[in-house]
A and B are shown apart, each in its own frame.
Chain A
Amino acid sequence: MKANLLGKKIAFYVLIIIVWQGIDSAEIWPDNIFPSPIEVGEDLLYGISDGSLFYGIATSMWRLVIGLSIAIGGGMLLGIFMARVETVNQTIGSLVLGLQSIPSVAWVPLAILWFGLSDSGIIFVTAIGAIFAVTINTYTGVKNIDPSFIEAARNMGAKGGQLITTILIPAAFPYMISGFKQGWAFAWRGVIGAELLFSFLGLGFLLNVGRQLNDVSQVIAMMLVIMGIGILIDGFVFKKLEDKVMTKWGLR
């Protein structure tokens, strides 16, 4: 079953490449508009050999990790307070819903004005794009905790920070994971979008360089790299984490 699924996937992608090559060979469009898969592959190899691709990936990933960490830490804290303190929910809660509707690239102008063309500005965009998804999922998770868990813990003497770390976070964790997943997706969009507009290193920058040089195959190569990293992190980090938590919590 599993091998069958993998086979289907491989066949599908091979088919795409064949069709792609076929369209290219038909020479409907010139090469500087529609490159062949081979040209894109060559571009990727070139990026690998001169190290620029790895440097771009490392820069983007580093910004992503910092931004997402801030978003996860801040979002969890905010979500827990919203769920536990009614006044916080009634005030900040409505603001969070509003802020979440702002696409992360819309923060770029403000980030440039506040932080200049710097790493901090890009990290700010990444974090702010992701934080509210984490907040809202954490809030939902904490709200859905079986009240008897909290009562039992209080009864056994847990209070304050202990209650948060030993009960609220682990009990809400299955929801928080969804928040992390959404947060990561928003953060990844945010970091690439910000790099495009900041034009300050990273994969988004390389993508933009491709456009400036009229190098279509570099543009497509970078898009493939961005997609590939997305698939890898989704599948290997978050899916694994989710499976582990769901199994341990007895939810599947």
Chain B
Amino acid sequence: MGKIEAKNIIKYFQHDGKPLKAIGGVNLTVDDGEFVCIVGPSGCGKSTFLRILAGLEKPDDGEVLLDGKKLVNTGPDRIMVFQEGALFPWLTVEDNVEYGLKVAGIPENERHDISKRYLDMMQLSQFANSYTYQLSTGMKQRVAIARALVMDPDVLLMDEPFAALDSQTRDLLLVEMQMIWQKTKKTIIFVTHNVPEAAVLGSRVAVFSHRPSVVKKSLDIDYKRPRVAEDENLGKFEKEILAALRHQGPK
């Protein structure tokens, strides 16, 4: 299961020695198996919000529940895919993917079986023994996704993972990401500043306001999958998201 509830999350940043309210009471419930994209103006604290869900940062107020249980720390039930991948350069692709399993004390042959499955899924098998510096940015993000999936988390948290990719690679991964979601039925929360990306991926898009941010609009994207970025029928959803983003000057 992977129903995540964020209740009245408040977070301050330190700005020139003064506290600055970045997140001003975000309420967001994501049902088990939902694919929710979070978009918002830059600096609205959407990445920080994701880090709070991951337990990597503590909110100044409010709480996060996973299937009704209050979360206090980070844990393998919610795995984060970082913007730059955060792959370990001293490990091979395979060892990167197996890292969490090894930490959990899973025996080697079992680890291999699991990692092999996800390396296949992400079309990385032939790179199993490569080091990460030998990979393209797109390949690195595939490894990062495989490393997260291997943990079989309830919730997958993705922080602008495709921001650094060229557009062809991104289009490919957008399609793959939908297939992964349909295959694994994971709850996915995906932060992006790219509106078409949100419309392609999300079964719902949550639009954050400028800081102190709140969820300004929650928009269901009821449209067949797999979707592709150039599908014109997604345009009306994109317009709605953009309108929600625009109806707010900086405060």
A: which residues have CB within 8 A of B? Answer: 146, 148-149, 151-158, 162, 166-167, 170-171, 173, 248-250
Size of interface on B: residues with Cβ below 8 Å to A: 27
Q: Are A166 and B86 in contact (CB under 8 A)?
A: no
Starting from the known contacts A149-B86, A151-B74, A152-B86, 11 additional A-B residue pairs (CB-CB under 8 Å) come to A148-B84, A151-B86, A154-B56, A154-B74, A155-B78, A156-B79, A157-B75, A158-B103, A248-B89, A250-B89, A250-B132
Residue numbers in B under 8 Å from A154 (CB-CB): 56, 74
Closest beta carbon of chain A to B71's beta carbon, Å: 12
Which of A151, A167, A248 is within 8 Å of B80, CB to CB? A151
Q: Inside 8 A of B151's CB, which chain A residues have their CB?
A: 156
The 7 closest A-B pairs by CB, nearest first: A250-B133, A156-B100, A148-B86, A152-B86, A170-B90, A158-B103, A157-B76
Write the nearest CB–CB distance from A244 to chain B, whole angstroms.
11
A152 contacts across to B, CB distance below 8 A: 80, 82, 86
Given contacts A155-B76, A166-B99, contact A173 B56 (CB under 8 A): no
Question: In the complex, what residues of B have CB within 8 A of residue A149's CB?
Answer: 86, 88
Bitwise, B65-80 to A at CB < 8 A (1) or not (0) is 0000000001110111
Most buried by A among B56, B76, B79, B103: B103
C-beta contact mask, B130-147 vs A, less than 8 Å → 1, else 0? 011110000000000001
Give the shortest distance, in Å, between A142 (CB) and chain B (any CB).
Answer: 14
Bound Cα distance from A153 to B100, whole angstroms: 7
B103 near A157: Cβ-Cβ < 8 Å: yes
Report the Cα distance A155→B86, complex, angstroms: 12
Q: Does B54 contact A (CB under 8 A)?
A: yes
Q: Which residue of A lies closest to B84 (CB)?
A: A148
- Cα of A102 to Cα of B87 in the assembled complex, Å: 40
The CA of A76 and the CA of B3, in the complex, are separated in Å by 43
Name the residue of chain B whose CB is nearest to the CB of A156: B100
In the complex, chain B residues whose CB is within 8 Å of the CB of A156:
76, 79, 99-100, 103, 147, 151
Q: Which residue of A lies closest to B79 (CB)?
A: A155
17 pairs, A vs B, C-beta closer than 8 Å: A146-B86, A148-B82, A148-B86, A149-B86, A151-B82, A151-B86, A152-B82, A155-B56, A155-B75, A157-B104, A158-B103, A162-B103, A166-B102, A170-B88, A171-B88, A248-B131, A250-B133
B90/A248 in contact, CB under 8 A: yes
Question: Which residue of B74, B103, B132 contacts A166 across the interface (Cβ within 8 Å)?
Answer: B103
Q: Chain A interface secondary structure, helix, strand, loop or mixed?
A: helix
User: B100 to chain A: which residues have CB within 8 Å?
Assistant: 156-157
The docked-state distance in angstroms from the alpha carbon of A171 to that of B90 is 7
Smallest distance from the beta carbon of B83 to chain A beta carbons, Å?
A: 8
| Residues of A with C-beta under 8 A to B54 | 155
A158: B residues at CB distance < 8 A = 103
Closest to A250 in B: B133
Q: In the bound complex, what is the Cα–Cα distance between A44 and B157 (angstroms)?
A: 68
Q: Which residue of B lies closest to A152 (CB)?
A: B86
Residues of B within 8 A of A167 (CB): 88
Q: How far is the CB of A60 from chain B (nearest CB, A)?
A: 33
Which residues of B lie under 8 Å from residue A249 when comparing CB positions? 89-90, 133
Within the complex, the shortest CB–CB distance from A23 to chain B, in Å, comes to 52
- The answer to whether B90 and A173 touch across the interface, beta carbons within 8 angstroms, is yes
Shortest distance from the beta carbon of B36 to any chain A beta carbon, whole Å: 19
Q: Which residues from chain B contact A146 at a C-beta distance below 8 Å?
A: 86
In the assembly, what is the distance between CA of A149 and CA of B103, in Å?
Answer: 14
Closest chain-A Cβ to B13's Cβ sits at a distance in Å of 16
Minimal beta-carbon separation of A111 from chain B (angstroms): 37
Q: Which A-chain residue is minimally distant from B99 (CB atoms)?
A: A156
Chain B residue nearest to A159 (CB atoms) is B103
Closest to A245 in B: B90
Chain A residues, Cβ within 8 Å of B133: 249-250
Chain B residues with CB under 8 Å of A166's CB are 99, 102-103
